[in-house]
A = this chain, B = another copy of it.
Amino acid sequence: MLTCKAAVFVGAGRPLEVREFPVPDVVPGAALVEMRLAAVCGTDVHAWHDPAAPHPVIFGHENVGVIAGLGHGIEADVLDQPLKEGDRIIFRSTPCGRCDHCAIGVRCRNNENYGFMPADRPPYLRGGFGQYLYLDANPWILRVPDGMTTERALLSVIGCHTVMHGVERIGGLSVGDTVVVQGAGPIGLGALTVARISGASRVVVIGAPRARLDLAREMGADETIDLGECPEPAARVQRVLDLTGGRGAEMVIECSGGDTAVQEGIEMARMGGKYLVVGQFTDYGPKAINPSLITRKSLLLSGVYGSTARHIIRSVEAMHRVVTAPVEKLITHQYPLERVNEAFHAHETLEAMVAVILPNG
């Protein structure tokens, strides 16, 4: 029996352990993926410290791999492009199409996601931090276009797709808009990228440390506000007002998860502006937010997380054909599977922008 390695989360506060697993046979409709790149996401690091997080789990939900085995019946990807062994792919589980969430287009109730499933029962290999990942029957697969780097394909499913989802939910961004992005991490830089290619006339990125803001400049930010140099929310709000003739930004995108970020963002938005709340996925409880500003400014707000099929398709298309910024530089750290714990540390210390695992070296 063929075996392979995968990094397993074995409980809060403990290092991930690289273990041996059998490589499963591929049943009809299923597929086996040889992993190429898997990114460490804040969600992984958060779970890593969370005593309530279920385990054992093989993390890794932002993935690019290569088809190693195709079950009978899978012949084409979601764009009807033929699939064969050796093709690079992006993948996810397919929404059930039957629940009330699917009915209105929000996250499927019944969908288990790769990178979050238990690793103590067959077929075990359900996360990106392993040499192989097993896709259950009926997977959602998108072929990576020829000529696109694997790094760029990976970045298509980090941040950009979710921001595209959010921008769609909030009725779009208009050409000529000033956009403020709160947060200079991978999601924030995804928001910057989406704003840039959507015709924003000015994109302001707020964050820290300096190195991240330098990267933001390189990715096309017109202005950056360094939290270290400008620690007062009121001063940051004033900066945005100064840049916009006193009006405020047409769109603000929260990608920081910061405690005071939402109130600050609301103050930065113009009359009739839009506010996209992407970064508040982790629940840190209530914050001080003035709802009167929402009313008086006639603001439109939307929360969003994850994405749907069309956003992934568009994100890959945009990364492949539209984005000219050297986004590969966002992948600042690369690790073999054995050094997965170092990758988590690099993420957590903000040393890495995007830290990736190369499960097959």
A 26-43 binary contact with B (CB < 8 Å = 1; else 0): 000000000000000000
Measured between alpha carbons, how far is A356 from B175 in the docked complex, in Å?
Answer: 26
Known: A272-B106, A299-B302, A313-B100. A287 touches B284 (CB 8 A): no
A171 proximity list for chain B (CB < 8 A): 171-172
Q: Are the C-beta atoms of B105 and A272 separated by less than 8 Å?
A: yes
A115-123, A288-296, A346-354: which one contacts chain B? A288-296
Measured between alpha carbons, how far is A316 from B176 in the docked complex, in Å?
Answer: 8
A66-103 contacts to B (CB < 8 Å)? 78-81, 94-103
Measured between alpha carbons, how far is A293 from B202 in the docked complex, in Å?
Answer: 29
Residue A335 CB within 8 A of the other chain: no
A360 proximity list for chain B (CB < 8 A): none
A315 proximity list for chain B (CB < 8 A): 176
Copy number in the complex reads 4
Q: Are the C-beta atoms of B289 and A286 separated by less than 8 Å?
A: yes
Q: Are the C-beta atoms of A288 and B286 separated by less than 8 Å?
A: yes
Known: A176-B318, A199-B199, A314-B176. A140 touches B303 (CB 8 A): no
Q: Are the C-beta atoms of A296 and B286 separated by less than 8 Å?
A: no
Q: Are the C-beta atoms of A291 and B287 separated by less than 8 Å?
A: yes
A 133-175 binary contact with B (CB < 8 Å = 1; else 0): 0000010100000000000000000000000100011111011
Residue A341 CB within 8 A of the other chain: no
A98 proximity list for chain B (CB < 8 A): 78, 94, 138, 140, 309
A100 proximity list for chain B (CB < 8 A): 78-80, 247, 313
A94 to chain B, nearest CB (A): 4
Chain B residue at smallest Cβ distance from A260: B286
A 304-332 binary contact with B (CB < 8 Å = 1; else 0): 11001110011111101110000000000
A265-301 contacts to B (CB < 8 Å)? 271-272, 277-301
Q: Are the C-beta atoms of B174 and A168 separated by less than 8 Å?
A: yes
Q: Are the C-beta atoms of B313 and A303 separated by less than 8 Å?
A: no
A33-69 contacts to B (CB < 8 Å)? none
A174 to chain B, nearest CB (A): 6
Measured between alpha carbons, how far is A11 from B176 in the docked complex, in Å?
Answer: 41
A125 proximity list for chain B (CB < 8 A): none
A204 to chain B, nearest CB (A): 13
Residue A238 CB within 8 A of the other chain: no
Q: Are the C-beta atoms of B310 and A175 separated by less than 8 Å?
A: no
Measured between alpha carbons, how far is A277 from B102 in the docked complex, in Å?
Answer: 26
Measured between alpha carbons, how far is A101 from B140 in the docked complex, in Å?
Answer: 13
A280 proximity list for chain B (CB < 8 A): 291-292, 294-295
Pick the contact of A288 from B79, B101, B288, B299 — CB < 8 Å?
B288
Closest 3 CB pairs of A and B: A176-B314, A294-B303, A176-B317
A102-B309, A104-B272 given. 11 additional CB < 8 A pairs?
A97-B102, A100-B247, A171-B172, A199-B199, A200-B322, A277-B291, A277-B294, A281-B295, A286-B289, A294-B301, A297-B303
- Tell me the A residues contacting B by CB distance below 8 Å: 78-81, 94-107, 138, 140, 164, 168-172, 174-177, 194, 197-202, 245-247, 254, 262-263, 271-272, 277-305, 308-310, 313-318, 320-322
Between-chain CB contacts (< 8 Å), 16 pairs:
A78-B98, A101-B272, A102-B309, A103-B309, A164-B175, A171-B171, A175-B194, A175-B322, A201-B318, A202-B321, A281-B296, A284-B292, A285-B292, A289-B289, A296-B305, A298-B304
